[in-house]
Amino acid sequence: MRILIAGAGATGGYFGARLVQAGRDVTFLVRQRRADQLARGLRLVSPGSEETIPVRALTAEQLDGDGPYDLVLLALKAGALESVLGQIGPAIGPETLILPFLNGMRHLELLNERFGEERVLGGSVRVVTLVEGDGAIRQVLPLAEIVLGAQPGGPAERAAAVGRELSVPGYDLQVTEQVLAAMWHKWGFIVAAGVGSILMRANFGEIASLPEGVEFIAAVLSETEAVLAAYGYPISDSSHQASLGMLAQPGLPFIPSLYRDFTGGGEHEGEHLLGDFTARAGKAGVETPMTDLALLQVRVHDFAREAGQR
C-alpha cells in the first residue's frame, strides 16, 4: 500500500517514522524547508532512545507524476488544510482513501464534500510529541494511539485493511465502527484542555496543585462533555474519571498544543477547535460559559496582534 503523509510535524512525523521503521511504503508531502531537514533523516527522540530514520519526502512541485497513492494521511493543522487539498490532486486516484488526523469535526465535512463519504475515513490520534528547533520529533510521553474507521455506511472492509497496514510497533491502533464518537470524545477533551490552560495561564500540573484547581478542571470537562451528550456521543463516568485523572496530576507539566501555539504567537487552531465547538453548542442549546470566555480571550489576543499591539 502506497501511503502519502501530508505533514511531517509532531503528529505526522511520529507516526510516519514508525511506519517507515516497519517497512511500509511511506512518502511525506512537506514544504521545502522541511524537505531539506528530512534529507538528513527524520530524528526521533523517544523516552530512552534516539534514532535517525531515512525517509522519502517530496514538495508539492515534486508530487506531480508520483501518484496515485492508495492512502493519503492528513496530519496537519486546520489552517493548512485548504492549501494542502490544492496540492494533493496528483496523489489521488479513483481508489485512494483519505484519512485525516485533524482535531475537531469541521474538516470531516469539508473532506466529505470534496471526495465523498465513501472515500474519507474517520480518524483520531493521541500522541504527546513536539518538533524541536532542529526538526527532530520528541515524544514527551509514551502515549501513542490511532483510532480509525469508516463513517456510517462507508467502506468498512477497506477501513479494516488500512488498519492492518498501519498496525505497526510504536503505538496502539484500533479500528472501530464508532469512529465518529472517538472523534467527538477527543474534541471535547482537547477543548477542555485548551480552555483550562488559557483561562488559568498555567500548565495542568500547576492548576492541579490546588484543590480548587482540580474542581475547576472537573467543571471544564463537564461543560464540554455536555455538548458531546447533546450530539449523541455521551462520555461514560469511567471515561470522565480517566480524563480528570490525566489532567489533574499535580506536578505534571502538561501544556496542550492549542495553548502552546496561542502563547507562542504563531498560528493556532482556536477558531477551528473552540469557535466551532461553541457554535455547535449554541445550536444544541448547551451553555458553555468557560469555553466562551476562553474563545473571547483568543479573539481579543488575535485582534490586538493583527493591529500591531502585540
Buried/exposed 67-86: b ≥16 CB within 10 Å, e otherwise: bebbbbbbbbbbebbeebbe
Percent of the chain with pLDDT over 70: 99
Spatial separation of the C-alpha atoms in residues 19 and 23, rounded to whole Å = 7
What residues contact residue 15 under an 8 Å CB cut-off, 6+ apart?
A: 5, 73, 75, 101, 125, 127, 144, 146, 166, 171
Q: What is the mean pLDDT of residues 72-81?
A: 94
Assess contact for 84 and 6: CB atoms under 8 A. yes
Q: Does residue 288 surpass a pLDDT of 70? A: yes
Q: Which of the four pLDDT bands, split at 50, 70 and 90, describes residue 6?
A: very high
DSSP strand pairing (92-100 vs 69-74): parallel
Mapped onto helix, strand or coil, the DSSP state of residue 121 is strand
Spatial separation of the C-alpha atoms in residues 113 and 105, rounded to whole Å = 13
- Digit-coded pLDDT (tens) for 128-142: 898 998 999 999 888
Q: Where are the beta strands (DSSP E) in the chain?
A: 2-6, 25-29, 42-46, 49-53, 56-58, 69-74, 92-100, 121-131, 137-150, 172-175
**193: Cα separation from own chain's centroid:** 13
Mapped onto helix, strand or coil, the DSSP state of residue 130 is strand
- Digit-coded pLDDT (tens) for 237-282: 999 999 999 999 998 888 888 888 888 877 788 999 999 999 999 9
pLDDT, residue 72, reads 98
pLDDT, residue 48, reads 85
Give me the residue spans of the domains in the chain: 2-177, 182-306
CATH topology of domain 2-177: Rossmann fold (3.40.50)
Rg, Å, the chain Cα set: 19
3-state SS record for 228-271: HHHCCCCCCHHHHHHHHHHHCCCCCCCCCHHHHHHHHCCCCCHH
100 or 262, which is more confident: 100
- Digit-coded pLDDT (tens) for 178-228: 999 999 999 999 999 999 999 999 999 999 999 999 999 999 999 999 999
Assess contact for 75 and 29: CB atoms under 8 A. no
Cell numbers describing residue 185: 470524545
Domains 2-177 and 182-306 belong to one CATH topology: no
Average pLDDT, the chain: 94
- ∠ at Cα 211 (208, 216), nearest 5°? 70
Distances (CA, A) of 106 to 102, 109, 252: 9, 5, 31
Domain 182-306 belongs in CATH node 2.30.110.10: no
pLDDT, residue 141, reads 81
- Tell me how far apart the terminal alpha carbons of the chain are, to the nearest angstrom: 47
Spatial separation of the C-alpha atoms in residues 222 and 181, rounded to whole Å = 17
